Amino acid sequence: MIVDAEGLDAEHAYKLLIGSILPRPIAWVSTRSATGVDNLAPVSFFTAVGRIPPKVSLTLQPRSDGVTLKDTFVNIRDTGEFVVNMTTLPQAEAVHRSAFEFDPDVDEFEALDLAKGECEVVNVPRVAAAPVALECRLDRIFAAEHGNDHVVWGRVVRFHLRDGLYLDRGRVDTGALPVFGRLAAEYNLVDNVFTTPVEPDVLQAREGRRMVRLDGKPDDFSPIDTAGWSASGSTRS
């Protein structure tokens, strides 16, 4: 099947993107508003875009009404600072709940009962339990050609790593991190690793196998098109 991307509305384009780009890392972004209210939200349109200096990119859609700018974007735009926190399995429920559309005057760390960690350079808290966090300063903002989407580039000014994760020669012990990402509207746990070439018997044993569901739901389940899903990355209920 071939889908012509020309003329797709935002919702259908979003569905195809999130179902085709797999898995997507999640930036659990903490910000502080100009009035001092702390915000936390997951962003799965996220990647690294530079090495010297190190930079990351976030793409932020508006809220589920399709118009109102998300607090994360407004705070970054107004203060020029944010933190990217790593998402690991023990925080999965808090990550999901942080996608709800809280009012701008709600401190989401307090609403989610999450401890704040101090940062060295930026005036934004990090998630204390996150094993990795990146302090970032705003580098630039790109406005989308249509709609209210924005791309934010941030310069990483500090890396926070849990004790024991930082290895010789600048390596990170990735195998010790139960990190999870996004598969369309669901999540996936990274719990295996390999190098190539993969032995033929391993390939044969996995041929046609589906992913293992950790939640006990049927294979054809998806949150997409349920009342709680929106094409903005926000969770309605």
Rounded distance between C-alpha atoms, residue 76 and residue 182, angstroms: 23
**Mean pLDDT, residues 15-38:** 97
Q: What is the CATH number of domain 10-206?
A: 2.30.110.10
**Mean pLDDT, residues 44-51:** 97
Find how far residue 77's CA is from the centre of its chain: 18
Residue 167, number of CB atoms within 10 A of its CB: 12
Containing 17, the helix (H) or strand (E) segment is helix 10-20
pLDDT at 128: 98
Rounded distance between C-alpha atoms, residue 58 and residue 233, angstroms: 12
Rounded distance between C-alpha atoms, residue 38 and residue 32, angstroms: 4
Q: Over 90: is that where the pLDDT of 236 sits?
A: no
Rounded distance between C-alpha atoms, residue 175 and residue 11, angstroms: 36
Q: Over 80: is that where the pLDDT of 237 sits?
A: no
* Confidence bin at 234 (pLDDT 50/70/90): confident
pLDDT tens-digit series, residues 133-176: 999 999 999 998 878 899 999 999 999 999 999 998 889 999 99
pLDDT at 129: 98
Please report, for residues 94, 114, 188, 224, the alpha-carbon distance to residue 39 in angstroms, rounded to integers and kept in the order given: 13, 11, 24, 25
What is the rounded average pLDDT for all residues in the chain? 95
**Mean pLDDT, residues 122-130:** 98
Q: Give 112's DSSP letter.
A: T
pLDDT at 5: 95
**Mean pLDDT, residues 103-131:** 98
pLDDT at 207: 96
Q: pTM of the full predicted structure?
A: 0.95
The two tokens of residue 211 are 């992913």
Q: What percent of the chain clears pLDDT 90, i.e. is strictly above it?
A: 88
pLDDT at 4: 96
**Mean pLDDT, residues 51-77:** 96
**Mean pLDDT, residues 183-190:** 95
Find how far residue 20's CA is from the centre of its chain: 16
Please report, for residues 112, 136, 168, 195, 210, the alpha-carbon distance to residue 204 in angstroms, rounded to integers and kept in the order given: 44, 44, 36, 17, 13
